[in-house]
A and B are shown apart, each in its own frame.
Chain A
Amino acid sequence: MDNEVTNYQNNRMREASHGRSLIPPCQVACPLHMEIGEYVDLVAQGKVLEALQVIREGNPFPSICAYVCTHPCEDACRRSQVDKSIAIRALKRFAVEFGGDRMIELEAETVQSEKVAVVGSGPAGLACAYYLRKLGYPVAIFEAYSELGGMLRVGIPQYRLPREVVDTEVQRLIHMGVEIKTNTRVISIDLLLDMGYKAVFITVGAHQSLRMGIEGEESPGVIDGATFLREVNLGLKPSLGEEVAVVGGGNVAMDAARAAVRLGADKVSILYRRSRTEMPASPDEIEQALEEGVETMFLVAPTKMKRENGRLSVTCVRMELGEPDAGGRRRPVPIEDSEHNMEFDTLITAIGQAPQISEDFRLRLGRGSTIQVDPVTLTTNRTGIFAGGDAVTGPATVTQALASGRQAAFRINDYLRHRYPSVDKEAEETLSGELLPKTIETIRKIERLEPPLLPPEARTKEFKPVELIYNWEAAVDEARRCLRCGMGAEIMFQDKCATCLTCLRICPYHVPYLDEGGTIQIPADQCQACGICVAECPAKAIVLRKPYDRRHIDEELEHALKSAAESKSKPLIIGFCCQYGLFGTGALASLWREGKAGIWIVPVLCVAKLEGGHILRAFEMGAEGVFVAGCGERCSRENTAFWVLQRVEEVRRALSQIGLEQERLQTFNLRAADGDITEALDNFTGRIGGLCLASVMKQEVKS
């Protein structure tokens, strides 16, 4: 996080809720360093509005990422060591849709006088404009095409990113006061400076397709991928004929092939010179393309093309894989005398793209015609001119572009404020390390839930979004698979630790160990943050790195007790209910919406974090009955029921010595398969009502 505005908020939030949690691998992998663990946890609790808020703090255009992010976070997700990674992107999409992201209106006030020009309106340009507006600068975006969005609009097909999503974000920027100049190709930076812009951010993307450099490439019927996708995305319907070949193995090749299918081509084949494992396209994309009937030919490369009888005759050569190249992929080597001819109606080349930077910009260019910048400050060779996005990196992902735009906004702010760039502070520790086999063994395996997809037959007829949204239950269930990396237990007070070995003996995952010096260690990279040892530690020396989870119980309990005191409804029953899966305030609360006043729900983030003191506190404050309801079989942690029952017994022993009936404390649904506890709960409230009446009568007899 490097923005002053959000930094302040983040720090405050972090202090309040994160405590000493370590940054999990997903967040490290995210180009925007979004607080993924946080919003996934909020989705798991069914707190979708709060989840969206966290998402919006780390991402200017979450709705866009929700569709197209290549989710490096999921590749880094440690759950994949257990079974499969968390479906983070799909969960974000759920939060964005169900949280009502499109309803959010943003405003920005102009507090600075220096005007900034953003050249190019791709994700980097839009993000830069967004953050500069938030910082209070007057910003103008210059776009050569008629509509904003850059590759978001002309590169990515609609079935992956509906245009309305881009439109919504653009409208939001306009509402924030960003000046939009479409159909305006910038031909000279000097002109912008003359117009009074004090800083310029060049983010013109990489729209120029690379040429294969073979004979016949100029023939009619050969089109490059970027141009093809641009035409398709701008609503033209290029006529392709029946058989289409796409050359290349990246995401653009997949997009082109799938777009060709949707335009009605009978047969679409991808020609790739390596094998499937070397394909740079994202595996989901490849999978979905295959589902839609795209064919693949591996280890084959065109060497020349000729237009004959209205068709393209393509001469190809077979390849074999040789030694790995500098990038680690095995280099394709042509096999001698393997030439053969194939016929297509159209051939789309998608072997890479490069930026096309006007010489008049007088910017120093580097490898692949990209603009050379300082990687930290994004400054070019010209004062006040910054650059980012694909124009600097070559073709990259939307999220990388957004991160680059945000970085540019903060560096431009530093520049305009005549400040030494305040570079990202790496103050917070990150969580590193693999899960040990013995930890993996003990973690409950829970199948990853994928969001539903349109069936392939329905997809290929039009450009509708392929991926649908989770329903509420699926999203919550998927989110609670999160291992909560970096939020686990730590021995906060080593001097208090009596080395009693309780934690070591009771941890369901066998995480704590005795080091050679006889000190207990709880390795952060193994802890599953279930909180059992925190509640059981006889010395109270262990805390959760994210103390909010525990403090939350106190806060919710006091809140419930206060509300109950105000309402004076009798008999007062306090229910500590698991909030994960929206059990407590969702499924369970709905049971007595009709006229069962007197029951107050205290949502807890796993009943394993509930302590005897919490239950006793409820009784102290006048509760006639207390129950603890878990989420049953859906619990993603181990041994929770056992520990809840231990503590309940402990409290029952105390109650009976005080002269209170043990049946005033009940547990429900700690292990059950189905969550319907209506009847059991009815019986319980009935009994408490009886006990309450009996004690009132006893009092009266006494007096």
Chain B
Amino acid sequence: MIVAEQKSLEEIRRIIAPYEKVLLLGCGTCVTVCGAGGEREVAFLNSALRVAQAKSDDGVHNFSEYTVKRQCDFEFLDVLVDKVNEVDTILSLGCGIGVQVVAERFPDIPILPGVNTSFMGMAKEWGVWDERCAACGDCRLAETAGICPITRCTKGILNGPCAGTKNGKCEANKDMDCAWILIYKRLERLHQLEKMRRYYPPRNFRVIPRPRRIVMKADIEQGEDNG
């Protein structure tokens, strides 16, 4: 799940300043789950922006709100066609993907981001989210007992732990578990400690071309089926 965090009201107010009619656009998937940009947060932001407007005298906005099921696919955005014509900008509370898809779908209107897309992670408990995956494109979790050192080790090292581990915690943050200690303990539990003894060479990030694209469909040539 993509985890995002709503931008500060100050920043949002700064970026919407030039526009009068603003559509606050929520997304009903990841950012709903992480409490950054679902219908509830859109409504709250709308209320907060109205208060800000009432209590200051910089510019008059006209806010409207809408939440689509998912911003990261064109088809979900079709319902916005008429609404888009009536506003001057869209403040998307979708993740960075959503913002770009909305921008691509509606080329004639400025799209503004309302959240900072932070990481891919999970809800540790209600109201607390933790990062779990860096989308490195080269998953090594089989060797690390299902615990990702790329995201969960501050240094992201592949052969840990480093000398900064103390009492199972990380030197960078005493409240944070050392990922490599977690990996060690779990491998021990699984009787796979031999995996600790191997050396994992550094990865070559240059081989990953950006932007990445995955093509799942087979490349079928026209006219092949004439047999």
Do A and B truly interact? yes
| A residues at B contact (CB < 8 Å) | 495-496, 498-502, 505-506, 536-540, 612-613, 616-617, 619-622, 650, 654-655, 657-660
When A500-B32, A500-B33, A657-B8 are in contact, do A495 and B43 touch as well, CB less than 8 Å? no
Rounded to whole angstroms, the CA-CA distance of A155 and B40 in the bound complex is: 61
Sample 17 A-B pairs with CB under 8 A, ordered by A number. A495-B69, A496-B69, A498-B28, A499-B33, A500-B32, A500-B33, A505-B123, A538-B35, A539-B28, A540-B40, A617-B47, A621-B54, A654-B51, A657-B10, A658-B9, A658-B52, A660-B55
Q: Is B174 an interface residue (CB 8 A)?
A: no
- Of the residues B32, B54, B67, contact of A620 by C-beta under 8 Å: B54
Interface 1/0s, chain B 115-129, versus A by CB < 8 A? 000000001011000
Rounded to whole angstroms, the CA-CA distance of A536 and B39 in the bound complex is: 11
Q: Which residues of B lie under 8 Å from residue A496 when comparing CB positions?
A: 28, 39, 69
Q: Which residues of A lie under 8 Å from residue B44 when comparing CB positions?
A: 612-613, 616, 650, 654
Rounded to whole angstroms, the CA-CA distance of A621 and B32 in the bound complex is: 28
Contact A538–B32 (Cβ < 8 Å): yes
- Of the residues B9, B29, B41, B43, contact of A498 by C-beta under 8 Å: B29
Rounded to whole angstroms, the CA-CA distance of A657 and B125 in the bound complex is: 27
Contact B54–A498 (Cβ < 8 Å): no
Contact A538–B38 (Cβ < 8 Å): yes
Q: Is B204 an interface residue (CB 8 A)?
A: no
Contact B125–A505 (Cβ < 8 Å): yes
Rounded to whole angstroms, the CA-CA distance of A619 and B44 in the bound complex is: 13
Q: Is B48 an interface residue (CB 8 A)?
A: yes
Contact B47–A616 (Cβ < 8 Å): yes
Q: Which residues of A lie under 8 Å from residue B41 when comparing CB positions?
A: 538
A-B pairs with the 10 shortest C-beta distances?
A616-B47, A538-B38, A657-B9, A500-B33, A540-B39, A505-B126, A654-B48, A498-B32, A658-B52, A613-B47
Q: How far is the CB of A542 from chain B (nearest CB, A)?
A: 10
Interface 1/0s, chain B 47-76, versus A by CB < 8 A? 110111011100000000001010000000
Contact B54–A619 (Cβ < 8 Å): yes
When A613-B44, A650-B44, A657-B9 are in contact, do A538 and B51 touch as well, CB less than 8 Å? no
Interface 1/0s, chain B 1-24, versus A by CB < 8 A? 000000011100000000000000
When A498-B38, A505-B126 are in contact, do A659 and B55 touch as well, CB less than 8 Å? yes
Contact B38–A506 (Cβ < 8 Å): no
Contact A498–B33 (Cβ < 8 Å): yes
Q: Which residues of B lie under 8 Å from residue A539 when comparing CB positions?
A: 28, 32, 38-40, 67
Q: Which residues of A lie under 8 Å from residue B67 when comparing CB positions?
A: 539
Contact B28–A502 (Cβ < 8 Å): no
Contact B47–A612 (Cβ < 8 Å): yes
Q: How far is the CB of B154 from chain A (nearest CB, A)?
A: 28
- Of the residues B39, B50, B55, B125, contact of A538 by C-beta under 8 Å: B39
Q: How far is the CB of A293 from chain B (nearest CB, A)?
A: 59
When A658-B55, A660-B55 are in contact, do A537 and B40 touch as well, CB less than 8 Å? yes
Given A505-B125, A612-B44, output 16 extra A-B contacts at Cβ < 8 Å: A495-B69, A496-B39, A498-B33, A502-B35, A538-B39, A539-B38, A540-B39, A613-B47, A616-B50, A616-B51, A619-B55, A620-B47, A620-B54, A654-B48, A657-B48, A658-B55
Rounded to whole angstroms, the CA-CA distance of A491 and B111 in the bound complex is: 32
Contact A540–B126 (Cβ < 8 Å): no
| CB nearest to A657 among chain B residues | B9
Q: Which residues of A lie under 8 Å from residue B29 when comparing CB positions?
A: 498
| CB nearest to B27 among chain A residues | A498
The residues in B between 101 and 142 inclusive whose CB is less than 8 angstroms from any CB of A are: 123, 125-126
Q: Which residues of A lie under 8 Å from residue B10 when comparing CB positions?
A: 657
- Of the residues B43, B51, B125, contact of A540 by C-beta under 8 Å: B43
